[in-house]
Amino acid sequence: MSTKNNPQIDEKFVREYDRAAMRSMFASIFAAVVTARKREGGFTFAALANRLGVGKSVVSRWFNRDVNWEVNTIADIAAALDIDVRITAVDRRTGTVYTPAGSLPTGVRTFSHISHIAHISHIPEDAIPTTPRDAPTFRVIVA
Amino acid sequence: MTLKATAHILFRATDTKKLVRRLPFRSLGPSVRELYVTPEVADALDGTDPNFRALPTVHTERLIAIFDAGQLISASLLGSSKKRPDMERLRDLDEVWAFCVRKPQMWQLRILGRFLDHRIFVGLSAYERRILGGTANYNDLASAVPEKWVQTLGDKPPFRAKSVEEYLGGVCPDVDEE
């Protein structure tokens, strides 16, 4: 996206974007689980709604709208789906990965491969090794 | 279509600047899907086209980002607009899809285009929803997509599939199955 000198891209825009992205992430995770459970058979929104003590229309709306859940609600949904939600954070500047137990060991970086195009996330150019001998431990995610 | 053939077509289209890869405002993770648009659509999304002064909007950039990241994009193969999917295959047209930004309600955006391959969407024209109007006018404007496709990508047929999963991949509930 070309946002150069676009006056509409201000702090408020960025803040709302980041919030929307976070909401979408949780919705997507839960939707992924729901989709898998439907394929396995026996899952219904009514059953999920029943476990959560809310109406079926509420649950249906969750997966078709942009919903701003409270953290407690996220925890309740995870419990109702019988899943654990695990969170990592990635430093945008350095690529350092953080878990609730702290940062991952130095040298662990993430590469993302997009079909035939290599895409490197958040890695400064001078951090990219030139020879295998120079390479620290890498975790490669193939998209 | 093989991966190699798709890559070749895209390389040619982007090299001749008939298409540009539309990347997210801020990446949400590895790219799982790819969005390509014409320079005109890119200008609209960037807000440099005077006909799209409302852009860029958070909702538009959010939808592009979650599309790119393979996250939740709802879709309809039956053109079920009332179910408000994020993407819908339009009725009575040959593989013409709408990428639907439905917020804010008073200013909605539609990017019309076709799938080139699994997880690869090509946006060929952009319209404010208000301009598209009712079904007849909407379809009339959307009917120009196949010709724009040929102008942009030659005689390569659009991708055809039988399920939302085959078109989109990632997390993509079919609203017609709910």
Taking one residue from A and the other from B, the number of pairs with CB-CB distance under 8 angstroms is: 95
User: pLDDT tens across B7-65, in order?
Assistant: 999 999 999 999 999 999 999 999 999 999 999 999 999 999 999 999 999 999 999 99
Q: Report CB contact under 8 Å: A113, B30.
A: yes
C-beta atoms of A21 and B66 within 8 A: yes
Q: Looking at the partner chain, which of A25, A34, A114 has a beta carbon nearest the beta carbon of B30?
A: A114
What predicted TM-score, i.e. pTM, was given to this entire model?
0.84
Check residue A116 and give its pLDDT.
32
3-state secondary structure of B50: helix
Q: Which residue in the block uniquely carries the two structure tokens 């699994």?
A: B118
Q: Residue A24 and residue B72: Cβ atoms within 8 Å?
A: yes
Residue in A21, A32, A64 closest to B84 by CB: A64
Long-range Cβ pairs for the range B90-99 (8 Å, 24+): B90/B138, B90/B139, B90/B142, B91/B139, B92/B139, B93/B139, B93/B142, B93/B143, B93/B145, B93/B146, B94/B146, B94/B158, B95/B158, B95/B159, B95/B160, B96/B142, B96/B143, B96/B145, B96/B146, B97/B121, B98/B142, B99/B63, B99/B67, B99/B123
**pLDDT (mean) for A19-46:** 90
B33: nearest CA partner in chain A? A114
Q: In 10 A of CB A130, how many CB atoms?
A: 7
**pLDDT digits 0-9 by tens, A71-83:** 999 999 999 999 9
Query: Parallel, antiparallel, or unpaired: how do β-strands B34-37 and B120-128 relate?
Result: parallel
As beta bridge partners, residue A142 has A113
Tokens of B52: 């799209």
CA-nearest residue to A116 within chain B is B7
Q: What angle do CA B70, B80, B91 make, to 5 degrees?
A: 100
pLDDT tens-place string over residues B91-145: 999 999 999 999 999 999 999 999 999 999 999 999 999 999 999 999 999 999 9
Please report the pLDDT score of residue A113 as a whole number: 34
pLDDT at B127: 97
Across the beta sheet with A109-114, what order do the strands follow?
Answer: A117-120, A109-114, A138-142
